[in-house]
Amino acid sequence: MTALLEVQDLKVAYGKIEAVKGISFSVEAGQVVTLIGTNGAGKTTTLRTLSGLLKPSGGRILFDGKPLNGTPAHKIVALGLAHSPEGRHIFPRLSITENLQLGAFLRKDVEGIQKDIQRAYELFPILGERRKQAAGTLSGGEQQMLAMGRALMSQPKLLMLDEPSMGLSPIMMQKIMATIAELKAQGTTILLVEQNAQAALSLADQGHVMEVGKIVVSGTGSDLLTDESVRKAYLGED
Ligand X SMILES: Nc1ncnc2c1ncn2[C@@H]1O[C@H](COP(=O)(O)OP(=O)(O)O)[C@@H](O)[C@H]1O
Per-residue binding string, ligand X, 2-41, x by CB under 6 A, is ------------x--x-x-----------------x-xxx
> What pairs with residue 26 in β-bridges?
6
Rounded least distance, CB 117 to Mg ion, Å:
29
* Distance (Å, whole) CA 80 – CA 38: 28
> Is residue 45 close enough to count as binding ligand X by CB under 6 A?
yes
Per-residue binding string, ligand X, 66-95, x by CB under 6 A, is ------------------------------
**73 burial type by CB count under 10 A (0-12 exposed, 13-18 middle, 19+ buried):** middle
| Closer CB to ligand X, 38 or 95, in the complex | 38
C-alpha angle with apex 86: 149 to 144, nearest 5 degrees? Answer: 35
| Closer CB to ligand X, 100 or 210, in the complex | 210
In the window 14-43, what residues touch Mg ion (CB under 5 A)?
A: 43
| Closer CB to Mg ion, 34 or 44, in the complex | 44
| Closer CB to ligand X, 120 or 209, in the complex | 209
| Closer CB to ligand X, 48 or 130, in the complex | 48
Give 14-18's long-range contacts (Cβ < 8 A, gap of 24+). Answer: 14/45, 18/57, 18/213
Q: Which partner from the list ligand X, Mg ion, none does 40 bind, CB cut-off 5 to 8 Å by kind?
A: ligand X
| Closer CB to ligand X, 39 or 186, in the complex | 39
Q: Which of 112, 194, 187, 191 is nearest to 120 (CA)?
A: 112
Rounded least distance, CB 54 to Mg ion, Å:
13
> Is residue 44 close enough to count as binding Mg ion by CB under 5 A?
yes
Q: Which partner from the list Mg ion, ligand X, none does 45 bind, CB cut-off 5 to 8 Å by kind?
A: ligand X
* Distance (Å, whole) CA 159 – CA 188: 7
> Is residue 44 close enough to count as binding ligand X by CB under 6 A?
yes
# of chain residues touching ligand X (CB under 6 A): 11
C-alpha angle with apex 148: 145 to 151, nearest 5 degrees? Answer: 150
Q: Which partner from the list Mg ion, ligand X, none does 14 bind, CB cut-off 5 to 8 Å by kind?
A: ligand X
* Distance (Å, whole) CA 78 – CA 106: 7
**179 burial type by CB count under 10 A (0-12 exposed, 13-18 middle, 19+ buried):** middle
Q: Which of 21, 43, 88, 184 binds ligand X (CB under 6 A)?
A: 43
C-alpha angle with apex 205: 89 to 167, nearest 5 degrees? Answer: 30
Q: In what order do the strands lie in the sheet with 214-220?
A: 81-84, 158-162, 190-194, 32-36, 206-211, 214-220
Binding region for Mg ion (CB under 5 A): 43-44, 86
Binding region for ligand X (CB under 6 A): 14, 17, 19, 37, 39-45
